[in-house]
């Protein structure tokens, strides 16, 4: 474990080291890099150099008052890749983390990249608008989430985390695993928690996706109640020419935990390419 300085803040990272191809895991909201606990051992055992980091405002990274937008998140990711001098890297973005990948490529290209993975990820555009009628969130939905996180954080996160791991109201992990996720969420700064809802709920990644020109895996659970497959994974796969799509049957949003064996198998198979 270590900390690196990027954009006037410190990001907390874990780096398995070694000379294998780097794989950077970008966590979802409102978690931290520790949420990849089911993936790190499998990837390390397969010979990859595995790097996780806590997004600004979350986990053990610095928690500034501002900067909770995707241009800044992409700049933080760029700072990490540059600071560690990573090349031929594979980026794996879960949920909100898929937005970092899209905006990073949209603004900085793919020179440092080998491949990318969008896992239950928010692109191309969650907000329903006149020119995006297939979005999954109305503006009122985003505002309701923001209000819940702002005014009743504990109960909001309890309900959100249950939904995160559920399909049709049925929890697909143990309650201990749900509690473990809630524990990770406690480290988030209040302002970061709320501002990120607006970031993932209102950011349009459609143009960014047109610039993805490296091998791409889109993996999504078809029972995802947080970022529905039809809204995000399906559309992202259609938007990126030549992308590979894996749909995990009966899997909720938090499928890297609930369906870790299937998730890891698909990820490792793709990374070999």
User: 89-94 and 244-248 as β-strands: parallel, antiparallel, unpaired?
Assistant: unpaired
Which has the closest alpha carbon to 197: 118, 116, 95? 95
Out of 95, 115, 232, 258, which one is annotated catalytic? 95
Is 253 designated active site?
yes
Out of 12, 187, 220, 253, which one is annotated catalytic? 253
Is 95 designated active site?
yes
Instruction: Give me 131's structure tokens.
Output: 């020119």
Which has the closest alpha carbon to 195: 77, 76, 67? 67
Which has the closest alpha carbon to 16: 49, 40, 53, 38? 49
Out of 54, 62, 224, 259, which one is annotated catalytic? 224
Contact between residue 168 and residue 116 where contact means Cβ atoms under 8 Å apart? no
Report the SS3 class of residue 210: coil
According to the 3-state scheme, what is the secondary structure of 81-108? Answer: HHHCCCCCEEEEEECHHHHHHHHHHHHH
How far is residue 83 from each of residues 75, 80, 113, 196, measured CA to CA in Å? 12, 5, 15, 25
Is 259 designated active site?
no
Which amino acids are annotated catalytic?
A: 95, 224, 253
């Amino acid at each position: 474990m270590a900390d690196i300085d990027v954009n006037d803040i410190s990001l907390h990272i874990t780096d398995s080291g070694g000379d294998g191809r780097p794989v950077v895991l970008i966590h979802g909201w409102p978690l931290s890099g520790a949420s990849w606990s089911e993936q790190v051992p499998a990837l390390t055992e397969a010979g990859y150099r595995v790097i996780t980091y806590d997004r600004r405002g979350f986990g053990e990274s610095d928690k500034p008052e501002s900067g909770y937008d995707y241009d800044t998140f992409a700049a933080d990711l760029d700072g990490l890749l540059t600071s560690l001098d990573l090349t031929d890297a594979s980026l794996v973005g879960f949920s909100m983390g898929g937005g970092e990948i899209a905006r990073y490529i949209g603004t900085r290209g793919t020179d440092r990249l080998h491949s990318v993975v969008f896992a239950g990820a928010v692109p191309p555009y969650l907000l329903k608008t006149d020119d995006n009628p297939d979005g999954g969130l109305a503006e009122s939905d985003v505002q309701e989430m923001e209000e819940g996180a702002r005014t009743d954080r504990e109960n909001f996160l309890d309900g959100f985390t249950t939904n995160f791991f559920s399909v049709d109201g049925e929890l697909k992990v143990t309650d201990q695993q749900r509690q473990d996720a809630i524990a990770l969420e406690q480290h988030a700064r209040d302002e970061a928690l709320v501002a990120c809802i607006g970031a993932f709920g209102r950011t349009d990644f459609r143009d960014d996706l047109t610039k993805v020109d490296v091998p791409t895996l889109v993996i999504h659970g078809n029972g995802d109640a947080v970022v529905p497959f039809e809204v995000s994974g399906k559309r992202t796969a259609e938007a990126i020419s030549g992308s590979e799509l894996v749909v995990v049957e009966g899997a909720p949003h938090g499928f890297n935990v609930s369906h870790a064996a299937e998730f890891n198998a698909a990820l490792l198979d793709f990374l070999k390419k």
